[in-house]
Amino acid sequence: MSILNLVFLSIGLAMDAFAVSVCKGMEQPKMKWTNALKAGLYFGGFQAIMPLIGYHAGHSFHHIIQAVDHWIAFGLLGFIGGKMVLDSFRCNREVNCSFGIRSMLVLAIATSIDALAVGITLGFTEVNIVTAVLLIGVVTFVLSVIGVRLGYLFGNRYSTWAERIGGIILFLIGLKILIEHLSPNLIFTV
């Protein structure tokens, strides 16, 4: 998987953490950078750890399911992407705006479950997992910090669009993996 694909994958995975960060930032009466850094560390940390766990699980079973791994990758990424897009259309989504350990831990786990599934699909591909995990964690950290700031400045106007775009990106990456395996003579430059 190319670096550019990993960047797009990282952005797609970070979008739900970004959306939650925007919502948390909206409720701050005063912009607190320590809260933005907390969001970045929790979300970025979990987004980095979960694909590593998934990668080792996927890599361990790759020899057993190698014939259908591209379908599994497409199914998981398509499902996660589709769910993100559908969730972005739901009204009255409530986010606990506390930056306490309990609240952040629950949200970090909830927003990184998709990263676990993506990690499984990475176990089926030729990828440098250290590079992938670092990129996913750093991109999520940066976008979460930015999300808290934007939430504080602009409110909830952009969080649903971010989640939709992230979902579409994940679906397209899954589709690309499927097409590459079904038509190996096609060359994608991305």
pLDDT beyond 80 at 3 = yes
Cα–Cα distance, 48 to 93 (Å, whole number): 25
pTM value? 0.69
pLDDT beyond 70 at 96 = no
- 95 near 23, Cβ under 8 Å? yes
Given this model, what pLDDT does residue 126 score?
Answer: 80
b/e burial code for range 47-81 (CB count within 10 A of at least 16 → b) = bbbbbbebbeebbeeeeeeeeebbebbbebbbebb
